[in-house]
Amino acid sequence: MPITVGQDKAKTRRTLDVNGKSVAYYSIPAATEAGLGDFSKLPAALKVVLENILRFEDDGFSVSVDDIKAFAEWAEKGGKNPREIAYRPARVLMQDFTGVPAVVDLAAMRDGIKNLGGDAQKINPLNPVDLVIDHSVMIDEFGNPRAFQMNVDREYERNMERYEFLKWGQTAFENFRVVPPGTGICHQVNLEYLAQTVWTDTDQNGDTVAYPDTLVGTDSHTTMVNGMAVLGWGVGGIEAEAAMLGQPISMLIPEVVGFELTGEMVEGTTGTDLVLKVVEMLREHGVVGKFVEFYGAGLDNLPLAQRATIANMAPEYGATCGFFPIDDETLRYMRQSGRDEDRIALVEAYAKENGMWRGSDYAPVYSSTLSLDMGTIVPAISGPKRPQDYIALDKAASAFADYVKGVRDGKDASANAEVRWEGEGGAPEPQDIPGDEGHHKKGWYKTDDGAYQLHDGSIVIASITSCTNTSNPYVMIGAGLVAKKAHELGLNRKPWVKTSLAPGSKVVSDYLEAAGLQDHLDAIGFNLVGYGCTTCIGNSGPLDAPISKAVNEFDLIATSVLSGNRNFEGRISPDVRANYLASPPLVVAYALVGDMNVDITKDVIGQDKNGNDVYLKDIWPTNAEIAELVEKTVTRESFQSKYADVFKGDEKWQGVDVSGGETYDWPATSTYVQNPPYFQGMSKEKGTISNIEGARVLAILGDMVTTDHISPAGSFKETTPAGKYLIDRQVAPREFNSYGSRRGNHEIMMRGTFANIRIKNEMLDGVEGGYTKGPNGEQMAIYDAAMAYQEQGTPLVVFGGEQYGAGSSRDWAAKGTALLGVKAVIAENFERIHRSNLVGMGVIPFEFTGGDTRKSLGLKGDETVSITGLDDVKPQQEVPCTITFADGTEKTITLKCRIDTAPEIEYIENGGVLHYVLRNLAKAS
């Protein structure tokens, strides 16, 4: 956004000389000198926000002197002063799953503003936007040298309509760049190349101005770049679109939780083990809506790649961000990753001048604190369905046995019965399973290589994937060394395990090859399958047909082990019920074992070429081995080489055709990109907020209902409403692709809302999947019921439990909810991004008060709901809600309206944040 210099702001504007160049900046110490308050004890993360306020003071963006003083009061009050402020990030980051619908919205807004008599060119990003195509590659081919090229070819076959659209966007919109497919994961590309830690721009006088690099992103793991002292977090695509169009982000000055790290990691542990413990601790502490800042002497022993791993998983511990201040390690990483020396010098000088440097005397005020000695970390995994479900590795097998027992005891009285494969030639008798207490099912499948036993706990997916870990050379080199030692001993993956390696950038492949480790990874099945999110986003691809058939026919609890950040139900694969997060070296080890029932800390994991037993300790590298190879192979030259032509792409990308001009020529037959209905028939004037009268219940959902439950990203079958839609348009099931890839088509996404195969609507007894009761009381798909209610003109509500909307910053979880006709979501509490997204789509979030819950109220789904007091509602106001039960009795409860700020009131009055922006731009033009 262009910087202008106002008279008042001149009080805090200073000049910095770096390497003979003069750079202007806005000084926090100068604000103290001007009598605005003492800001010396603010955490660095909050100083970044304060600088933002200083820079935009009196620019006509609702920033006042009182907003600045509020930060000094925050420190005086011990880290709490939830004043509403307007925050403006420097840039926006997108990936293609969330980026395509965002560009669709921008294209639709251009149509909309023309219909309102405005100028289409008003719809242009004011802030730089980078969109990285990383979510589309799917693992169809694996375990062989041709896997990468074949997966790339299929990616282009499936997604050409989307890529043509994105390339049009790159030419049609200013300040909008696209990083082509096959480059890497957006967060890793951001960390390794895009981020600058201190950003620069020019003001209206042509002077260079330095300020902290900040961003919002349409992916929740945008937080990863906080490891490099770049303040950023995930927002919904709706909020990101508003930000790129110049709309400030309305937020409350957050609490900042200080997390002290002491000591250093011990032999045999990884950064992944550390972050899983951090996730558990912070979830227990409670950090939703708060910043977390890491400090302490332990940071001196924590490389930036490890910091980025911790920062990446902020959504998993529930924080807005997990921030690491600028220090010597920040500068070392910038130099190693190929940043310009002048930029590195600017970062150091700016941080020290503006009080953002972490030195030995760094001791800010925090809202609360907790501490962890890294020397106490032990190897661990997390699962089977939540990132915060931490399990020490030596307890993993017994914890899995307990999980299976719970599933089987609660689900099927006959589940203890043994199931055997029967086919030509018969099969050997099933062997005893380690730790089996009679709660496992057993099945057989047959391939060309012979017959194999599958049972509860068979690992069918082992995937090195995700920005969380593939950005960290210590764990990637560690995985390569485990593969090398295993291969040299003669070990291999079990034949039922689908193995894959999907690095977050080409730099990873460069150093694995330079270290001589990729050949060993290939030898045990961890061939390169693509550069992208793959398994972590649900693009694990199909299992071999015999394996899938065995799992489903015998109702086995198959498992996956991945080096990702998300393991929610139904996310990784429709054939896999239990999913575990682990470090890349452990992913390799588990692929060799193929069974979650094995205690890999002490049991035999295989036999070597001579028939000798091999244990995990025999193939686990030392920290010194890893560090030596990292030092030798992870080089500045590699980063500079791999990012030299980052926006150019390969021949396939260069061959993508671009058509269309100022507005998009929507292809009527496209099943990927359609003009959404949001702005059609829109009036020039906003409306008012109406009371909700006589609403019916669409779904009653439990605790920790994630955005994956509400709007799944993975594959779907032809029997689903989305599948039927495509079949009706002559799209073969093989070409369905995924929900995530079709987010540019609202018809698909409406049908996929609340359609996760593991979602449980409590209106139905024991039924999994996207079903509800329709107007006639019969069970039907949620989409079909919603359409039936819309035909009757009946508004809808959804009830939920705790942490409603956790997980990905998935705007379609809110868009789909709105398009189904849901006017309100009533839950015990909301995760930050989804609450904001609901408001951005005109859906009002409400929270129960006074101890009321869906359970205490005895809700069945046959009630009607009326909510009043909305015609003059204020932020966070309590309002009455009358529930009329099926027998005619009524109960009035009090709900807290989670429209949190005054601008959000306007968003709801306009029907959503984009409607608000569009009307204002139309008036301005």
Task: Report yes or no on 581 lying in a domain.
Answer: yes
Question: What CATH number corresponds to the domain at position 398?
Answer: 3.30.499.10
pLDDT higher than 50, residue 414: no
- Average pLDDT score, the chain: 89
Q: What is the mean pLDDT of residues 523-529?
A: 93
pLDDT for res 761: 97
What is the C-alpha to C-alpha distance for residues 406 and 122, in angstroms, rounded to an integer? Answer: 57
Same domain for 602 and 723, yes or no, is: no
Q: With bands split at pLDDT 50, 70 and 90, how would you rate the model's confidence at 427?
A: very low
Q: With bands split at pLDDT 50, 70 and 90, how would you rate the model's confidence at 62?
A: low
What is the C-alpha to C-alpha distance for residues 780 and 772, in angstroms, rounded to an integer? Answer: 6
Q: Provide the residue type at 330 as one letter.
A: T
What is the C-alpha to C-alpha distance for residues 54 and 63, in angstroms, rounded to an integer? Answer: 9
Q: What is the mean pLDDT of residues 181-190?
A: 89
Same domain for 591 and 453, yes or no, is: yes
pLDDT for res 59: 54
Other Cβ atoms closer than 10 A to 886: 10
Q: With bands split at pLDDT 50, 70 and 90, how would you rate the model's confidence at 429?
A: very low
- Indicate the residue among 600, 617, 634 that finishes a domain: 634
What is the C-alpha to C-alpha distance for residues 605 and 595, in angstroms, rounded to an integer? Answer: 10
Which token pair is 844?
Answer: 């009002």
Same domain for 619 and 717, yes or no, is: no
Task: Report yes or no on 341 lying in a domain.
Answer: no
The full length of the chain comes to 925
pLDDT for res 448: 56
pLDDT higher than 50, residue 104: yes
Q: With bands split at pLDDT 50, 70 and 90, how would you rate the model's confidence at 413?
A: very low
Question: What CATH number corresponds to the domain at position 731?
Answer: 3.20.19.10
Q: With bands split at pLDDT 50, 70 and 90, how would you rate the model's confidence at 9?
A: low
Sheet with 321-323: list strands edge to edge: 321-323, 291-295, 256-262, 368-373
Q: Which residues sit opposite 692 in a β-bridge?
A: 867
Residue-wise pLDDT for 271-282, tens only, equals 999 999 999 999
Q: What is the mean pLDDT of residues 151-170?
A: 89
What is the C-alpha to C-alpha distance for residues 406 and 437, in angstroms, rounded to an integer? Answer: 12
Task: Report yes or no on 837 lying in a domain.
Answer: yes
Same domain for 696 and 609, yes or no, is: no
pTM of the complete model = 0.82
Task: Report yes or no on 405 lying in a domain.
Answer: yes
pLDDT for res 98: 82
The residues near 903 (Cβ < 8 Å, ≥ 6 apart) are 250
Q: What is the mean pLDDT of residues 563-588?
A: 87
Q: What is the mean pLDDT of residues 418-425?
A: 35
Task: Report yes or no on 812 lying in a domain.
Answer: yes
pLDDT for res 445: 58
Q: What is the mean pLDDT of residues 23-43?
A: 96
Q: Say whether 145 sits in a helix, a strand or coil.
A: coil
Least confident window among 8-17, 330-339, 491-500: 8-17
Q: What is the mean pLDDT of residues 848-853?
A: 97
pLDDT higher than 90, residue 212: yes
Distances in whole angstroms, Cα of residue 112 to Cα of each of 109, 338, 678: 5, 43, 9
Question: 458 lies in which domain range?
Answer: 394-634
pLDDT higher than 50, residue 172: yes
Least confident window among 4-18, 321-335, 817-831: 4-18
pLDDT higher than 70, residue 438: no
Report yes or no: 533 and 155 within 8 Å, Cβ to Cβ: no
Same domain for 544 and 413, yes or no, is: yes
Same domain for 565 and 713, yes or no, is: no
The vertex-714 CA angle with 400 and 452, nearest 5°, equals 45
pLDDT for res 424: 35
pLDDT for res 443: 54
Q: Which residues sit opposite 293 in a β-bridge?
A: 258, 323
Residue-wise pLDDT for 593-645, tens only, equals 999 999 999 999 999 999 999 999 999 999 999 999 999 999 999 999 999 99
Same domain for 486 and 576, yes or no, is: yes
Task: Report yes or no on 422 lying in a domain.
Answer: yes
pLDDT for res 446: 56
Same domain for 558 and 701, yes or no, is: no
Q: Provide the residue type at 212 as one letter.
A: P
Same domain for 770 and 873, yes or no, is: yes
Q: With bands split at pLDDT 50, 70 and 90, how would you rate the model's confidence at 533?
A: confident
Distances in whole angstroms, Cα of residue 725 to Cα of each of 676, 722, 732: 16, 5, 11
- Indicate the residue among 53, 87, 121 that finishes a domain: 87
Task: Report yes or no on 275 lying in a domain.
Answer: no
Same domain for 719 and 612, yes or no, is: no
Q: Say whether 514 sits in a helix, a strand or coil.
A: helix
Task: Report yes or no on 93 lying in a domain.
Answer: no
Q: Alpha-carbon torsion 408, 414, 418, 424, what sign?
A: negative
pLDDT higher than 80, residue 785: yes
Higher pLDDT, 155 or 391: 391
Q: Which residues sit opposite 474 in a β-bridge?
A: none
Among 138, 152, 329, 160, CA closest to 229: 329
- Indicate the residue among 87, 121, 142 that finishes a domain: 87
The vertex-658 CA angle with 656 and 661, nearest 5°, equals 170
Same domain for 627 and 746, yes or no, is: no
Count structural domains, the chain. Answer: 3
Least confident window among 42-46, 569-573, 707-711: 569-573
DSSP result, 406-465: HHHHHH-TTTTS------TT--PPPPPPTT--S---EEEEEETTEEEEEETTBEEEEEE-
Same domain for 602 and 739, yes or no, is: no
pLDDT for res 437: 41
Residue-wise pLDDT for 256-273, tens only, equals 999 999 999 999 999 999
Residue-wise pLDDT for 751-767, tens only, equals 999 999 889 999 999 89
Q: With bands split at pLDDT 50, 70 and 90, how would you rate the model's confidence at 10?
A: low
Which token pair is 533?
Answer: 């999110």
